[in-house]
């Protein structure tokens, strides 16, 4: 069937979008200054570094057998934060990334799960996401599970190896 041109809609929709844009920009704040942006970036990198340290065993509660994430997931490899939320076979439901982190803490590491809203969990997420920067977000993609993370830019944050577990520095 041939599409019929509807002039009312053709004008109304762009007008609506323009109005929304105009009112949006009126209430927007000033752009961040360089100082503010630097501060935000520094705060983020602090947390990324905390995540790096946790990944390599800095919180003993997360492991009952001496294993750290870095032993099996060097450079956050095969942790695939960009593929969550997704269906996980052994839980028979769609889970968020942090739940899979807790699964690994409790099973392969025989440790105590992190609260999903804890700073440590946010740090883990910040570290893993930092190493996956630039990869497309592909919720549900299971096929990347065993592929390593391409670490092209070095760590990009000022950490020293913890000496615990497997350090890939």
Q: How far apart are CA 139 and CA 79, in angstroms?
A: 13
Give min distance, CB of 19 to ligand HEC, in A. Answer: 43
In this structure, how many other beta carbons lie within 10 angstroms of the beta carbon of residue 141?
A: 14
Which one of 8-16, 34-42, 45-53, 66-74 is the stretch in contact with ligand HEC (CB under 6 A)?
Answer: 66-74
**Of 109, 9, 135, 13, residue with least CA distance to 55:** 109
Q: Is 48 in the site for ligand HEC (CB under 6 A)?
A: no
Q: Is 59 in the site for ligand HEC (CB under 6 A)?
A: no
Q: Is 108 in the site for ligand HEC (CB under 6 A)?
A: yes
Interface residue with ligand HEC, options 59, 80, 82, 130 (CB under 6 A) = 80
Q: Is 83 in the site for ligand HEC (CB under 6 A)?
A: yes
User: What are 110's two structure tokens?
Assistant: 């025989």
In 3-state terms the chain splits into helix, strand, coil percentages (rounded to 5) of 50, 5, 50
Nearer to ligand HEC, 17 or 167 (CB): 167
Q: Is 67 in the site for ligand HEC (CB under 6 A)?
A: yes
Q: How far apart are CA 104 and CA 21, in angstroms?
A: 45
Under 8 Å CB-to-CB from 76, ≥6 apart: which residues?
55, 69, 127, 128, 131, 132, 149
Q: Is 79 in the site for ligand HEC (CB under 6 A)?
A: yes
Q: How far apart are CA 76 and CA 155, in angstroms?
A: 11
Interaction mask 143-162, ligand HEC, x per CB under 6 A: --x-----------------
Give min distance, CB of 59 to ligand HEC, in A. Answer: 9
8 A C-beta contact, residue 51 and residue 124: yes
Question: 3-class SS at 1?
Answer: coil
Interface residue with ligand HEC, options 47, 48, 69, 149 (CB under 6 A) = 69
Residues at the interface with ligand HEC (CB under 6 A): 62, 67, 69, 71-73, 78-80, 83, 90, 97, 100-101, 104-105, 108-109, 124, 145
């Amino acid at each position: 069937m041939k599409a019929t041109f509807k002039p009312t809609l053709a004008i109304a929709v762009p007008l609506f979008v323009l109005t929304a844009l105009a009112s949006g920009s009126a209430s927007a704040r000033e752009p961040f200054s360089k100082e503010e942006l630097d501060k935000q970036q520094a705060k983020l990198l602090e947390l990324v570094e905390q995540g790096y340290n946790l990944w390599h065993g800095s919180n003993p509660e997360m492991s009952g057998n001496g294993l750290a994430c870095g032993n099996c997931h060097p450079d956050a490899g095969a942790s695939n934060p960009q593929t969550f939320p997704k269906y996980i076979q052994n839980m028979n439901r769609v889970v968020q990334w942090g739940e899979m982190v807790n699964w690994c803490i409790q099973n392969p590491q025989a440790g105590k799960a992190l609260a999903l809203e804890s700073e440590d969990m946010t740090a883990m997420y910040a570290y893993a996401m930092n190493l996956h920067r630039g990869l497309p977000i592909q919720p549900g993609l299971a096929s990347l599970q065993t592929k390593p993370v391409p670490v092209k830019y070095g760590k990009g944050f000022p950490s020293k190896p913890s000496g615990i577990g497997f350090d890939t520095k």
